[in-house]
């Protein structure tokens, strides 16, 4: 459990010199206790005090890295239970599972080719997990070799037999895979293997209590690059365990649970499996391992991850400017919308579907949607007229006509007056744009 502000204060110099940026040592101690300051900020603290305060200044959940170079996946170092309190920092690693009893190379190739583009961002799965189902050391080693030859992404090696793990780990140790897993039966040998190669290690108990005890035994062997698995595989139990890991680590600073977590899906139907993975990704798995490997299966999961790990205080925005859709000319229509990326890309998709080359004027609304921006006076006759001038729209089209979102039809008169442009009210929903375009501009 973490120290209170007063307990921390006892170890500080009590000179109130302000060098740490806090007005007093007590204020600094309080900030340290709540995780809002780092002990490094006080240059006068003694080595003895540093040692005593280590647990208070360490993040509630340790960061553990899997992989190397560009493909490294950072796990943990989360500080919140609820995203809206601040934000979540390190997106859940999504790992595709490959068994050494299936066509390893073929699935690894499909995995490596997975790429997605959504709301102006590119993203992909980031980890591949190779599992020993054969029980055959040579087969497992060959499978790990085959996967490593097909993808550079971070790897997880799954096998609870240290003698089988050893050979496979030798092949890819320089890529720092996650070794899975140390159990109460094998932990000494598994720690020796993982520690010897400098690889992170999954600690797997049969329940929360055994996991905590096992972590303490592994830490006593002087190894702390750990990832937690409570051993549960039933959805509600996994969710409950993941929640306890996060709560006890963040709220109580319970050190045995101060590590990232891993969860495995158990459903066989790909749709159910993706839903199960989505539950774990939402609360609070740092790695989720699933068998599904098709683009259409993974897209919803990765889209959800992308939403969950954005900063809730910063809307996702595109650059506010004039965009071309197709190859527009001087007569092409001009649609007006906001620079909220979700709105923009939906409008762009519908305009593209009309197959009529067009322009979209994205107005700077601070990344909020049409109605929100209108309510806040950020999407008004004045801001739209200003955007027309900023992007020199008059030089790019001969006509003086704009299409305004139907939701803000009320702006038509004021915008015509402010800009001197003729305003046509478009559909209220973007889904109506294609028909609107064909009816008006085909």
By C-beta, is 22 or 276 nearer to ligand SF4? 22
- Per rule CB under 6 A, is residue 419 in the interface with ligand SF4? no
H or E element in which residue 323 lies: strand 322-325
By C-beta, is 42 or 368 nearer to ligand SF4? 42
Region from 21-29, 58-66, 166-174, 236-244 binding ligand SF4, contact rule CB under 6 A:
21-29
Residue from 2, 3, 11, 20 touching ligand SF4 (CB under 6 A): that is 20
- Closest to 275 (Cα-Cα) out of 238, 235, 243: 235
Residue from 4, 6, 10, 15 touching ligand SF4 (CB under 6 A): that is 15
By C-beta, is 12 or 388 nearer to ligand SF4? 12
Q: Which residue reads 């490596």 in tokens?
A: 112
Q: For residues 421 and 126, what is the distance between their CA atoms, to the nearest angstrom?
A: 49
- Per rule CB under 6 A, is residue 147 in the interface with ligand SF4? no
| Burial letters 109-124, b for 16+ CB under 10 A, else e | eebbebeeeebeeebe
Contact (Cβ atoms closer than 8 angstroms) between residue 146 and residue 109: no
By C-beta, is 22 or 265 nearer to ligand SF4? 22
Minimum CB–partner distance for residue 252 and ligand SF4 (Å): 25
- Per rule CB under 6 A, is residue 16 in the interface with ligand SF4? yes
Q: What are phi and psi of 398, to 5 degrees?
A: -85, -35
Residue from 3, 25, 129, 290 touching ligand SF4 (CB under 6 A): that is 25
By C-beta, is 58 or 425 nearer to ligand SF4? 58
Query: First-to-last CA distance in the chain?
Result: 68
Contact (Cβ atoms closer than 8 angstroms) between residue 148 and residue 172: yes
Residue from 22, 230, 276, 362 touching ligand SF4 (CB under 6 A): that is 22
By C-beta, is 20 or 370 nearer to ligand SF4? 20
Find all residues with CB under 8 Å of 440, minimum gap 6, and list them: 333, 424
- Per rule CB under 6 A, is residue 42 in the interface with ligand SF4? yes
Length of the chain: 442
| Residues forming a β-bridge with 202 | 180, 227
Region from 14-22, 113-121, 180-188, 282-290 binding ligand SF4, contact rule CB under 6 A:
14-22
- Per rule CB under 6 A, is residue 36 in the interface with ligand SF4? no
Q: How many residues bind ligand SF4 (CB under 6 A)?
A: 13
By C-beta, is 15 or 431 nearer to ligand SF4? 15
Q: For residues 228 and 207, what is the distance between their CA atoms, to the nearest angstrom?
A: 11
Q: x/- contact string, 97-116, with ligand SF4 (CB under 6 A)?
A: --------------------
Sign of the Cα pseudo-torsion (99, 102, 105, 111, in order): negative
Written as six digits, the tokens of 86 are: 């601040």
- Closest to 15 (Cα-Cα) out of 43, 36, 39: 43
Minimum CB–partner distance for residue 6 and ligand SF4 (Å): 14
Minimum CB–partner distance for residue 21 and ligand SF4 (Å): 8
Minimum CB–partner distance for residue 24 and ligand SF4 (Å): 6
Written as six digits, the tokens of 327 are: 């190859």
By C-beta, is 28 or 284 nearer to ligand SF4? 28
Residue from 6, 17, 113, 221 touching ligand SF4 (CB under 6 A): that is 17
Half-sphere exposure for 439 (CA within 13 Å, toward CB): 8
Indicate the burial class of 197 (C-beta count within 10 angstroms; 0-12, 13-18, 19 or more): middle
Minimum CB–partner distance for residue 39 and ligand SF4 (Å): 9
Residue from 1, 19, 135, 196 touching ligand SF4 (CB under 6 A): that is 19
| Binding site residues, ligand SF4, CB under 6 A | 12-13, 15-20, 22, 25, 28, 42, 44
């Amino acid at each position: 459990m973490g120290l209170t502000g007063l307990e921390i204060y006892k170890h500080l110099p009590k000179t109130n010199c302000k060098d740490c940026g806090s007005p007093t040592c007590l204020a600094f101690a309080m900030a340290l206790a709540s995780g809002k300051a780092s002990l490094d900020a006080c240059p006068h603290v003694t080595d003895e005090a540093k040692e005593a305060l280590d647990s208070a200044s360490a993040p509630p959940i340790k960061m553990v890295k899997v992989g190397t170079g560009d493909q490294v996946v950072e796990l943990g170092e989360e500080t919140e239970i609820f995203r809206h309190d601040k934000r979540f920092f390190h997106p859940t690693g999504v790992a595709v599972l490959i068994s050494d009893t299936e066509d390893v190379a073929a699935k690894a190739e499909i995995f490596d080719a997975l790429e997605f583009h959504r709301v102006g961002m590119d993203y992909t799965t980031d980890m591949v997990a190779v599992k020993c189902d054969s029980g055959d050391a040579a087969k497992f080693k060959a499978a790990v070799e085959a996967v490593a030859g097909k993808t550079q992404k971070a790897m997880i090696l799954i096998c609870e037999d240290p003698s089988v793990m050893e050979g496979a780990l030798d092949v890819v140790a320089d890529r720092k895979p996650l070794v899975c897993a140390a159990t109460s039966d094998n932990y000494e040998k598994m720690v020796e293997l993982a520690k010897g190669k400098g690889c992170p290690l999954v600690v797997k108990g049969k329940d929360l209590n055994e996991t905590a005890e096992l972590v303490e035994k592994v830490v006593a062997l002087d190894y702390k690059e750990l990832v937690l698995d409570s051993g549960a595989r039933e959805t509600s139990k996994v969710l409950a365990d993941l929640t306890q890991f996060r709560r006890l680590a963040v709220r109580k600073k319970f050190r045995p649970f101060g590590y990232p977590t891993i969860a495995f899906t158990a459903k066989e139907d790909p749709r159910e499996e993706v839903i199960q993975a989505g539950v774990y990704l939402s609360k609070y798995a740092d790695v989720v391992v699933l068998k599904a490997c098709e683009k259409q299966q993974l897209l919803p999961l990765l889209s959800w991850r992308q939403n969950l790990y954005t900063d809730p205080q910063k809307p996702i925005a595109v650059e506010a400017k004039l965009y071309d859709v197709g190859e527009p000319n001087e007569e092409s229509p001009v649609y007006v919308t906001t620079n909220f990326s979700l709105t923009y890309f939906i409008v762009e998709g519908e305009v593209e579907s009309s197959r009529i080359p067009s322009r979209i004027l994205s107005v700077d609304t601070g990344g909020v949607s049409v109605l929100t921006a209108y309510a806040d006076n950020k999407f008004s006759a004045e801001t739209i007229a200003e955007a027309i001038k900023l992007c020199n729209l008059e030089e790019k089209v001969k006509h003086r006509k704009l299409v305004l979102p139907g939701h803000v039809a009320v702006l038509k008169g004021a915008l015509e007056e402010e800009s001197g442009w003729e305003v046509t009210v478009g559909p209220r929903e973007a889904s109506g744009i294609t028909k609107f375009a064909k009816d008006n501009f085909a």
